A and B are shown apart, each in its own frame.
Chain A
Amino acid sequence: MKQNQPALLQVQDLVVGYRNTEVLHGVSLEVFPSEIVTLIGCNGAGKTTFLKSIYGAPRPRSGKILFRGEDLGRLPTHQVAKQGLSLVPEGRRIFPGMSVLENLKMGLSARAQLEGSEADLVWIFELFPRLKERSSQRAGTLSGGEQQMLAIGRSLMARPSLLLLDEPSLGLAPLIVRAIFETLKQVAAEGMTIFLVEQNANQALRLADRAYVLTNGRISLSGVGLELLADPEVQRAYLGGH
């Protein structure tokens, strides 16, 4: 039902490489408004490269990246961030020497207008009450899970129409991963579109409406999240099932 609207993010035949190595050999996928889409794959499948190429670093060799129907192809990185996408980078990458609140405020730099930013701050503190408790603490002293919450909160401060996450489960305890994914579900329920790149296929597929499986730079499977979870091929390759 969501798919009768035009796609928010549409990637067509994307080919990306570094020097002599081609990493993505023609990837196509679509993300529609207010759905959660996940891209899963093993180490080295090209998941992070895919996200990076949306930001133009590296630039795609061929293919198109359309966001709201407009090509992001030639925009410099910092301009892409201002188009309404917001990336939660791999490994969190918070600003360790700044306070939690300052980290959140850094997210404002990609925001189109500052109106409503106070309300968004309140909203983010509702999503992650831990951040509110620690708002004046140095971000580098937060635990890994709290840092991931902060990174997500920082991206949400930009009020993006599409939230991109690169392996938010990286290095976190399963319990915390579940909590963070619960919050993502809550964020999506409020109308945010989420594109999640994950290695933790089990959790990601349970969360996502739709999923793509990336294998060696090509989309090998796609479908509804829970159906893929039951797929014997996915079971074998990603979930350690027999």
Chain B
Amino acid sequence: MAKTRLIQRILAALGAGIIAFILVGPIMGLKIEGYDFVANWTSPLTLAAFVCIARLVLGYVPLDRIRHSHSDTAPRQTKRSPVQVAALGVLLVVLAASLPFFASKYWISVSIIALIYVLLGLGLNIVVGLAGLLDLGFVGFYAVGAYGYALGFKYFGLGFWGALPTGALMAGLFGAILGFPVLRMHGDYLAIVTLGFGEIIRLILNNWLDVTGGPNGLDAPPPTFFGWEFKRAATQGGVPFHEVFNLDYSPQVLDSFVYLVLLAAVVITIYAVMRLRRMPVGRAWEALREDEIACRSLGLNHVTIKLSAFMMGASIGGVAGVFFAAYQGFVSPVSFSFFESALVLAIVVLGGMGSLTGVVLSALFLTMMPEFLREFADYRILVFGFAMVLIMLWKPRGLVQMRRPYFGLRGN
């Protein structure tokens, strides 16, 4: 028994090696020199040998056991009491808020980007995780928020604080615009249409030179604190922040400020989503994900439920966009490519669809990870992809399996 299995594994490994060699041999082994080919088989052979060994090792990984370690039955009940959870939450927020007081400028900016993705993940989580509508064009709403701020500043003199609600509103409106045509769509079809929507927004931003500046992008002003600017010298008539509070000027103050406001926005969003999930509208989103026909037969209007999910998710994306624009000081269509949508979707899926803790963790992980991997230089994204594959093998339902608040009778 054991012997045949060993032989099977060796055969599989050899097979994988041969396939790898056939695939990469011509690409890596043949080099063009002038008009001639020069064959150099060492590198493809090394690679094939590597694949061969890797396949052999994979044979000893108990994939089945890893994959089926989650049972569908018996939901895990939350064991911690609400007071403990709240205390833990406060502790984490305080820890996060203290970051700008000791971390370097580099880590503050990395954290800002990470928090922006947390916000995006939370937004998409409503659409994909809770309402079950696969949206591949989420970056569109992010772009609406960011450009809403930049354009609002350019044409109407809109400030950061005004842009936050307007950006959310505008993105919500775009969410509704997208929602209407896709009301009758499900699954793959919905994904394709939303993918198109995201691209349409990017293409409009890229090509409408007169208004959006096209590929040249637009400026977005940094935020102010009650009208005091975070500059060395304020624009005419104003007083800069550091003079008001008798501090030495430091460019890091602006980043710290953005970080703290963003952290507050993330905390508010997490709290809001937690509340929403316990309210009828949140319950309706989940019911829609579970069974649309049952929903309608119970008198729930699927139109308003879908639209509200799209709009709520989109507004959170819009807020993330405003923060992005304010932090970068500049927006251009390049920042809103399909890759961003895919990354945000990866955050939601990797975190465990519907799970708030999971989304936050995976957003931090996916944005911080490439930073930690800088040592690998050119192979950074490769290692990054590899890590993602490993996680999905290890936890196919995401880092944190969704823990819904399960309601039962008291005393049960």
Contacts and interface: CB of A to CB of B under 8 A. Distances in A.
Interface string B269-305: 0000000000010011011011101111111111000
B330 to A, nearest CB: 43
Interface of B, helix, strand, loop or mixed by DSSP: loop
Contacts of B406: 99, 102, 136, 138
Given A77-B296, A136-B409, A98 B290 contact: yes
Contacts of A136: 77, 406-409, 412
Given A95-B286, A141-B73, A89 B407 contact: no
Interface stretch (A104-112, A207-215, A227-235): A104-112
Nearest to B288: A95
Interface string A20-47: 0000000000000000000000000000
A97 B397 CA distance: 14
Contact of B297 (A89, A96, A100, A141): A89
Size class of A's contact patch? Answer: 35 or more
Contacts of B409: 101, 132, 135-136
A106 B409 CA distance: 15
B32 interface: no
A137 B74 CA distance: 7
A156 B148 CA distance: 48
B300 A97 contact: no
B75 interface: yes
B257 to A, nearest CB: 41
Contact of B284 (A82, A109, A138): A109
Contacts of B280: 109
Contacts of A130: none
Contact of B298 (A96, A110, A137, A141): A110
Nearest to A132: B409
B408 A101 contact: yes
A59 B297 CA distance: 15
Measured as residues with beta carbon below 8 angstroms from the partner, the interface class of chain B is 20 to 34
A87 B280 CA distance: 21
A74 B36 CA distance: 77
Nearest to B402: A97
A94 interface: yes
Contact of B412 (A135, A140, A154, A155): A135
Nearest to A141: B73
B407 A78 contact: no
Contact of B296 (A81, A97, A135): A81
B290 A96 contact: yes
A67 to B, nearest CB: 14
B336 to A, nearest CB: 33
Interface of B: 72-75, 77, 280, 283-284, 286-287, 289-291, 293-302, 404, 406-409, 412
Given A89-B294, A101-B408, A101-B409, 7 more contacts: A77-B297, A82-B299, A93-B291, A93-B293, A98-B404, A99-B407, A137-B408
Interface of A: 55, 76-79, 81-82, 86-87, 89, 93-102, 105-107, 109-110, 132, 135-138, 140-141, 154-155, 158
